[in-house]
Amino acid sequence: MPKARVITVEEVIYLRDKLKDEYADVHAQFEEDDKFYELDFLQLLGVPKEFIADATVLPTARQLIDVYTDHVDLANARVTVSQKSVNEDDPKAMAKAEEESDILSKFGRGMLYRSNVEEDISQLRVAAKHQGIYGLGCVKTVYDADRWLDKPEQGDNESDSEYNEKIDEWRNDRDSQMPIVNQAVNPRNIYPDPSYGGRQFVIEVREKVLLDVRSQYPKWSNPQNKKIDERVNLTSYWDNGRRCELADNEPILPVRGGVAKHNYGFVPYVFIESGLGNLSYDGDLAKRYVGILRHLRGVLLSESRNFSIYDVAMKKG
């Protein structure tokens, strides 16, 4: 069987730029959805300029999304693990397979619980909110080695008992940390494989302060000579077996060729669609990813406009 060809850095950059054009329309819709959720549409009301200071944007859009998010049950998530196929005539093997399945199920529920209570903000709730706003939520699940402290080394003048105490403290701190993290990714920052029949890859783009990038990747050369407070454009490419990380189009993973194996065996992004859109005949992504506010914009504008006009009329007597 021929060996699968590995994607190159140049191909990642080319694919990212092509997908930016393909996702331009749906991302423009996402920006409009975001504008309505943030109540940033005062100038769209059409109220005369002399009365614009008295105009009011009603919070209906936020209420719709927040109530939708509240109805997404995040506290009682179910984790199902398929049991290994074993000989049904072997009771010991059946019991062992059932026990392993139960352990993995408990681990999954525990990971979801810790993700909800230990993060600064519930990542799953953020993803549920994205689902309501844009019609698409996304959760990225990855291993984060930085969450596990490095094993301390014994000092020259440090006794074995002192070092053992330090090791015990290190083990306690390490075991209390979860190195697997769930991250809600804004759909505006991702370019999933648009093909039908299963996603083979995902590209994520985002910005980060140069200081953070330089601290995490000290060998990065800063090809555009940006200042310490400027932002760096980061690109992440993931498929079933490979990943590539770019900072201003320069590879930053310490591997030859810039593309590394990740050994996950799957693309670590999960997408949850609202179901309010439609798989159109032409594959239009703007018709597929539809949030609650998409087709209520006119109503929301009219509501705030009518309230503003009535309020101005009452003030003017």
Max avg pLDDT among 15-29, 41-55, 92-106, 271-285: 15-29
User: How does residue 233 score in pLDDT terms, banded at 50, 70 and 90?
Assistant: very high
Q: Is the pLDDT of residue 279 over 60?
A: yes
Average pLDDT, the chain: 87
Closest residue by Cα to residue 248 from 40, 18, 13 = 13
Helix 60-70, helix 123-134: angle, nearest 10: 130
Q: Return d(Cα 317, Cα 315) in angstroms, integer.
A: 5
Q: Tell me, what's the pLDDT at 1?
A: 47
User: How does residue 317 score in pLDDT terms, banded at 50, 70 and 90?
Assistant: confident
Task: Give the strand pairing for 231-239 and 201-209.
Answer: antiparallel
User: How does residue 3 score in pLDDT terms, banded at 50, 70 and 90?
Assistant: low
Stated as kind and residue range, the H or E segment containing 20 is: helix 9-22
Q: Tell me, what's the pLDDT at 4?
A: 63
Q: Tell me, what's the pLDDT at 245?
A: 94
Q: Tell me, what's the pLDDT at 176?
A: 65
| pLDDT cut 70: percent of the chain above it | 96
Asked if 242 contacts 7 with a C-beta cutoff of 8 angstroms, the reply is yes
Q: What average pLDDT does this structure show over 260-264?
A: 90
Q: Is the pLDDT of residue 209 over 80?
A: yes
Q: What average pLDDT does this structure show over 138-149?
A: 80
Three-state secondary structure call for residue 84? coil
Which residue, chain included where needed, has tokens 């529920």?
109
Q: Is the pLDDT of residue 134 over 70?
A: yes
| Chain Cα centroid distance, residue 52 | 37
Per-residue burial over 108-121, b if 16 or more Cβ lie within 10 Å, else e, is eeebbebbbeebee
User: How does residue 300 score in pLDDT terms, banded at 50, 70 and 90?
Assistant: very high
Helix (H) and strand (E) counts in the chain: 9, 9
